[in-house]
Amino acid sequence: MKSIIRRSYRHIHRMILLSGVLGFGSLIASSCAVSPAGTSGLYTAASENGPSQTAYVPPAGKGPIVVVLSGATGPRLYDRFSAALAREGYYVVLLDSNEVRRNAARAENLSRAIARSQNVPNAIAGKVGVIGLSLGGEIALSRAADMPELVAVVVVYYPSTSFVSNAGDLARRFRVPILMLAAEQDRYHNCCVIETARAIEGAAKERQASFTLVSYQSAEHGFNLAGPAYRAQDDADAWKRTIEALGQYLRP
């Protein structure tokens, strides 16, 4: 019996780590004690209208659009994050960055997903906010930040920047406000190092782009994910800044 209990506990603990994106600090701070039903969005398979997505409807039934681009681990780790954003008043569309990034038409994949979201009754048509995490941050910086006709603001968490060979070339494409939330101790596959984040910041300032870098001194990759890298204080601060940025440009 004890061995069964131990196995059950390990299974439950593993499921919590796999399914929880926001740590308990942010969940409390943003009034999002999420039940299983609260994290289940509406899934739509990929089609000619865009890549597969999971949509989350705000409590009021309608809100401005926020597109969330997942990390390489796939969208299911970001269900709670997306559901929490929806409770802030946004119609949230969660995309699998692996699917968006799969071919050369990344910008087209993203723009089609945005266009599809603008034509549902739960969304307020207009420019959208884009949030990219890790791999999703790469797509947000390289594509969404160069879509001023569709995107109002970009927020990136510990974005993958290993694709950057010249920070100046990237910064020339910044045409919307950007908030970057970086982890100074991030050495995850050397994809998202703070040195590159600072180089991008410097290049953006030279070009007078609307770019804000916030770095967390002791944080590692995935500091807002439930797990060993989780840091409640940094998570809460990043969440607060995210909501403020979205509110400034989208106003739910």
Average pLDDT over residues 218-246: 96
Give the model confidence (pLDDT) of 133-175 as tens digits: 999 999 999 999 999 999 999 999 999 999 999 999 999 999 9
Phi, psi of 106, rounded to the nearest 5 degrees: -60, -45
Q: Tokens 């209208």, residue?
A: 49
Give the model confidence (pLDDT) of 76-124 as tens digits: 999 999 999 999 999 999 999 999 988 666 678 999 999 999 999 999 9
Q: What is the pLDDT of residue 105?
A: 65
Checking if the pLDDT of 5 tops 70, the result is: no
User: Phi-psi category of 31—alpha, beta or left, where left has phi over 0 and alpha has psi -120 to 50?
Assistant: left
Residue 11 CA to residue 240 CA, distance in Å, equals 32
Higher pLDDT: 226 or 81? It is 81
Residue 175 belongs to domain with CATH number = 3.40.50.1820
Domain that holds residue 95: 2-250
Q: What is the pLDDT of residue 33?
A: 28
- Our count of domains for the chain comes to 1
- What CA–CA distances, in Å, run from 34 to 17, 21, 55, 239? 14, 11, 16, 16
- 167 contacts: CB under 8 Å, gap ≥ 6: 196, 199, 200, 202, 203
Query: For residues 103-127, b (16+ Cβ closer than 10 Å) or e, as one string?
Result: eeebbebbbbbbebbbebebbbeeb
Of the chain, the percentage scoring pLDDT greater than 90 comes to 77
User: Phi-psi category of 69—alpha, beta or left, where left has phi over 0 and alpha has psi -120 to 50?
Assistant: beta
DSSP string, 64-104: EEEEEE--TT-GGGGHHHHHHHHHTT-EEEEE-HHHHTSSS
Residue 190 CA to residue 22 CA, distance in Å, equals 23
Checking if the pLDDT of 31 tops 90, the result is: no
pLDDT range class, residue 10, cuts 50, 70, 90? very low
